[in-house]
Copies of this chain bind each other. A is one copy, B any other.
Amino acid sequence: MAKKKNRSTAAIIKYDYTNMTDSAIGARHGITEKQIEKTMPHAQEVHRRRVAERKAGKLPFMDLPYKINEASDIAGFAKSTAEKFDNVVVLGIGGSALGTICLQSALNPAFHNLKDNRKRKAPRLFVEDNIDPERLADMLDVLDPKKTLFNVISKSGSTAETMSAFLVARNFIKRTLGPAAVKDHIVATTDVSKGVLRDIADSEGLRSFIVPDGVGGRFSVLTPVGLLPAALVGIDILKLLEGAAIMDKRCRSASPAKNPALMAALLQYIALTRKGKSIQVMMPYANALRDVADWFRQLWAESLGKKYSLDGKVVNSGQTPVKALGATDQHSQAQLYMEGPNDKTITFLRVENFRKDVKIPGGYSKTEGLSYLAGHTFGELIRAEQAATQIAITDNNRPNSTIILPEISPATIGQLLYMLEIETSYMGLLLNIDAFDQPGVEAGKVAAYALMGRAGFEKRAAEINKEAAKVKRKII
């Protein structure tokens, strides 16, 4: 037992960037030693700024790996609560959903929700992260309210999608179990003192957890936003933090050769700004890691896709993140990645040891085209395909790197997510933008308020009507 524990803690993820460099893919698309050296002072200045900002308390997401007491409280609450429920439903969107989805698919069995209660060790998880009427109606249709706990998550309490779902869930509980049941079936995660959801939680006696100040949604997976649902569905959240802390220590080095987040940011920065790689594909070779790529999509897109002025000129920064899945997408995207425009970097995620493996049986020993498979395992096959795709991509001079997970566990996932968060914060500094705001989404919210007839947005509604009248619609 103790031995296993040590091994798990010691499983360290690695970053292989060989194929980002000219030695593997040539100097046109590969990054040369000279380019790295030239950018090094900038990278080190950026590291110093990151350290200074952290010291000044400006990067509270970096304190999260050490909030052990808070996590222990969450784990304790979850343990006593989970046994009362068959279903946990998260009502949240964006950063209030993607971390939870990512942790669930990485760390619970593939068909967790399909197992009957006897075989399942923790409640099922539903994440209601949209305002789709059909999915919501279908979900309420399969849920037994008596056995369902809702966790509504919104720092501001004004997220239209989440609060709409909250109104429906509250009504669902009231209608089926009576008004007194609401406080036993809804838990709120929100601001410590401000906002609509805080007011409701306080006045209606809902159990509540706190979204700390200064941690944006996309950096919130290690706050109660991600930790509470994870703990409720049986994930070891203390091990997650342990993993993040391991990565945190590695990322204290000012030398990219020792700091994988800094090295990755440096390479992506050069690839984007010097080699025209405007797209980053993240391609895990493991179904369990598919939603890491989805979580990363938000982190990278929302943090780095920014407009700013430089010497009086408007600059639109950012690298478009794309989610792919190996080996599946070899049969969907590989043709484009091999022969299409050389405008991408590919980041593979590779798993050295799966938690379960399946041996490929024989039966056709004389059939050429089948016999070579027999005796191998699925784990061997998927790793061989990852290596093969990497070789072919590299032979086509496409920059690629690999994050290698010795296993999929809370500790390695903690390392991985935290590495990607720090990489993103470095990338923001390298691009000289604020990685922690999202000014570009405001206009869409205002337009939605106007179209929904919210008081105070009448002027924008009139403008929209006026604009619409000016343009002749082209519809066929």
Q: Who on chain B is nearest to A454 by CB?
A: B372
Cβ of A2 within 8 Å of any chain B Cβ, yes or no, is no
| B287 A476 Cβ-Cβ under 8 A | no
Complex partner residue of A339 from B170, B306, B361, CB under 8 angstroms = B306
Flag whether A10 is at the interface (Cβ < 8 A). no
- With contacts A15-B476, A307-B339, A471-B18 known, is A142 near B115, CB below 8 A? yes
Central interface residue in A157, A170, A318, A355, by most chain B CB within 10 Å: A318
Whether A322 pairs with B320 at a CB distance below 8 angstroms is yes
**Nearest-CB distance from A288 to chain B (Å)?**
6
Partner of A328, one of B17, B130, B134, B364: B130
Q: Are A448 and B388 in contact (CB under 8 A)?
A: yes
Contact present for A443 and B301 (CB under 8 Å)? no
Q: Is the CB of A440 within 8 A of B339?
A: yes
Find chain B residues with CB under 8 A from A298 CB: 331-333
Stretch of A39-47, A105-113, A230-238, A241-249 contacting B (4+ beta carbons < 8 Å): A105-113
**Cβ-defined partner of A94 (8 Å) among B301, B328, B472:** B328
- Are B360 and A167 in contact (CB-based, < 8 A)? yes
Nearest chain B CB to A351's CB is how many angstroms away?
9
Bound Cα distance from A342 to B372, whole angstroms: 48
For A136, list chain B residues within 8 Å (CB).
Answer: 358, 378
Nearest CB of chain B from residue A74's CB, rounded to whole Å: 23
Q: Are B373 and A167 in contact (CB under 8 A)?
A: yes
Shortest Cβ distance from A344 into chain B, in angstroms?
7
Instruction: Report whether B476 and A258 are in contact in the complex, using a CB–CB cutoff of 8 Å.
Output: yes
A1 in contact (CB, < 8 A): no
Which of B17, B132, B157 contacts A382 (CB under 8 A)? B132
- When distances are taken between beta carbons in the complex, the residues of chain B under 8 Å from A372 are 449, 452-455
Q: How many residues of A contact B (CB 8 A)?
A: 150
Residue of B whose beta carbon sits closest to that of A262: B476
* Known contacts A360-B164, A448-B388, A332 near B98 by CB under 8 Å: yes
Closest to A325 in B: B130
Collect the chain B residues with CB atoms within 8 Å of residue A336's CB.
301-302, 304-305, 318, 320, 440
Residues on B with C-beta less than 8 A from A473 are: 16, 18
Q: Which of A121-149 contact B (CB under 8 A)?
A: 129-142
Which chain A residues numbered 281 to 334 have a C-beta less than 8 Å away from chain B? 286-288, 297-298, 301-302, 304-307, 316-318, 320, 322-323, 325, 327-328, 330-334
Q: Does A263 contact B (CB under 8 A)?
A: yes
> Within 8 Å of chain B (Cβ to Cβ): is A181?
no
Docked-complex contact A200 and B110, CB < 8 angstroms: no
A354 adjacent to B302 (CB under 8 Å): no
Distance in angstroms from A163 CB to nearest chain B CB is: 6
Q: Does A367 contact B (CB under 8 A)?
A: yes
Which residues of A are in contact with B by a Cβ distance under 8 Å? 14-18, 21, 23-24, 93-95, 97-98, 109-111, 113-115, 129-142, 157-158, 160-161, 163-164, 167-168, 170-171, 196, 199-200, 217-218, 257-260, 263, 278-279, 286-288, 297-298, 301-302, 304-307, 316-318, 320, 322-323, 325, 327-328, 330-344, 354-358, 360-364, 367-370, 372-374, 376-382, 384-385, 387-389, 391-393, 395-396, 404, 438-441, 443-455, 464, 467, 471-476
| A-B contact list, 15 entries, CB within 8 Å | A15-B475, A110-B138, A111-B138, A130-B287, A131-B381, A135-B288, A158-B369, A161-B385, A167-B374, A302-B335, A305-B336, A388-B447, A388-B450, A389-B448, A404-B475
* A-B contacts besides A134-B286, A161-B331, 16 pairs, CB < 8 Å: A94-B331, A110-B135, A111-B142, A131-B381, A133-B358, A136-B358, A161-B381, A200-B364, A279-B279, A305-B335, A305-B339, A317-B341, A318-B336, A338-B443, A372-B455, A388-B445
